[in-house]
Structure 1
Amino acid sequence: MTEINPDRTNGIIAIDVSPQSNGQYLCQILSSLSDRPDDTMNFYGQTKEHAIAIGLEYLAKEYRQKAEDSQNNIDWDALELSDSGQPIEKHYHVILHYEEIAEAESKFEAVHNAMMGNTVIENAIISAIKISPDIEIEPLERAWE
């Protein structure tokens, strides 16, 4: 008999990728960690790696939102003051996610156009998750080649 885990702290994320007749790829993700463990999520991509990336980004978005929602007692602009009246600095893992479908003459133009102005910041999903100061998180950095 399978033991039920109400907190869903243990589980499996299964990924299956298959080619489609139109040349695209279908990525199916099933997570037993989900609130809907029987739902299969479908994502399409130009290549198998593209389909997996789209599926994992969607899954990451769901879990970022759950992480933020679990901290619903955090007031956006509330300050905690020390006994001396100075604001106490906290630590936050800030994640910025932005996607677009770009029409451009080259890959360079597509990237350059996305980077111009504040479009990325204005249209991004921004998550700020309060963290312990000693947690080992290495933020992703753009590797300029």
Structure 2
Amino acid sequence: MSETSPKLINENISITVTLEDNGYYLCHLSNPSPDPSQNTINSYGQTQEHAIAIALEQLADKYRQIAEDQQNIDILTVERSLDGEAISKLYHVTLHFECTIDAESKFEAMHDTIMGNTVVENGKITVIEVAEDLPFADILELGA
């Protein structure tokens, strides 16, 4: 993992939610993304919280992708010790899947999603290598 010098990062995210004439909420999120073409996110939701959640997830997706890209790790590279043993590393793996489902109930929508392979097949997977001594890294280990 690359070393970086400590520096103060001060970025402001602006969130504005408005109730539109169509009865839905529009969340306008302005962020300090390195790519100026992606500095704004607009998302609709049934409630203001729903609109904000969608916008924040889009922002998180952008930053996960930036973090992964910055590592510039060849997906097939295996580092080996001097005696040829593969060196295991710690990775933060995010599987993100969103869709709309036509179902008779919330339970049926959840059940239909769990039963199919659609989540894995259509999900977006981000893999970020993390240091073993990263504070709270154990929180990232689901199922541990």
Please, what TM-score do these two structures have when normalized by structure 2? Answer: 0.85
Structure 1 residue 140 displacement after superposition: 8.7
For residue 115 of structure 1, what is the aligned residue in structure 2? 114
- The farther-off stretch of 36-45 and 113-122 is 36-45
* Cα-Cα RMSD: 2.2
Alignment length (residue pairs): 134
1:101 alignment counterpart: 100
Residue of structure 2 in register with 1:139 after alignment: 140
Aligned to 1:4: none
2:15 corresponding residue in structure 1: 15
* Residue 76 of structure 1 pairs with residue 75 of structure 2: yes
SS of 1:79's equivalent in the other structure is coil
Partners of 2:105 and 2:79 lie apart in 1 by 49
Pick 1 or 2: higher relative contact order, CA cutoff 8 A, min separation 6. 2
1:13 to partner: Cα distance: 0.8
User: 5+ residue gaps in structure 2?
Assistant: 1-6
Shift, 1:81, TM fit: 0.9
Q: Percent identity?
A: 49
Partner of 1:126: 125
Aligned to 2:24: 24
CA apart distance, 1:79: 1.2
Could you tell me which residue of structure 1 aligns to residue 91 of structure 2? 92
Q: Which runs of 5+ in 1 are unaligned?
A: 1-6
